[in-house]
Amino acid sequence: MRKYIVKVNGSVYEVEVEELTAGEAAQSAAAPEKPAPAKAEDKPAETPAPAAQPSPKPASAGAKSINAPMPGSIISVSVKPGDTFRSGQVLLVLEAMKMENEIMAPHDGKVISVNVSAGSSVNSGDVLISYE
């Protein structure tokens, strides 16, 4: 058994490392041991869960939709069901790859349903807003 002193982010730790023979190393690689339970101070801070997505409402026969152009997280939603919007108006903001992307109305319309909320994650092609 060898002892080492390791410095991580300014904190100094003393660790012991057990040396294995080639046969022991091959055997331990085939059947890995369970990791030791983490101490409370070693656990990262928990991040709050994103807001639950509202369930999509059925759209009428002539409804159109605005889909997510890429995977990401919804930062803000500027419209709600029943709102009217103009062509070019920002309807919501989608964060992808640390960039905020404004999702704009392709033309005038009226919101039937909003299928996402701030904090929710979306995949490419997911329906964000249904409108007529």
In a domain, 52, yes or no: no
Residues 68 and 118 in one domain: yes
The whole domain housing 110 covers 64-131
> Does residue 73 form part of some domain?
yes
- The pTM (predicted TM-score) of the whole model is 0.54
Task: Tell which wins on pLDDT, 48 or 120.
Answer: 120
Q: 29 and 68: one domain?
A: no
**Residue 108 contacts residue 91 (beta carbons within 8 Å):** no
Please name the residues in contact with 67: beta carbons below 8 A apart, sequence gap of 6 or more: 125, 126, 127, 128
Percent of the chain exceeding pLDDT 70 equals 71
pLDDT tens, position by position, 104-117: 999 999 999 999 99
Instruction: Looking at the structure, tell me whether residues 68 and 125 fall in a common domain.
Output: yes
Summarize pLDDT for 82-105 with one digit per residue, the tens: 999 999 999 999 999 989 999 999
d(C-alpha 35, C-alpha 51), whole Å: 32
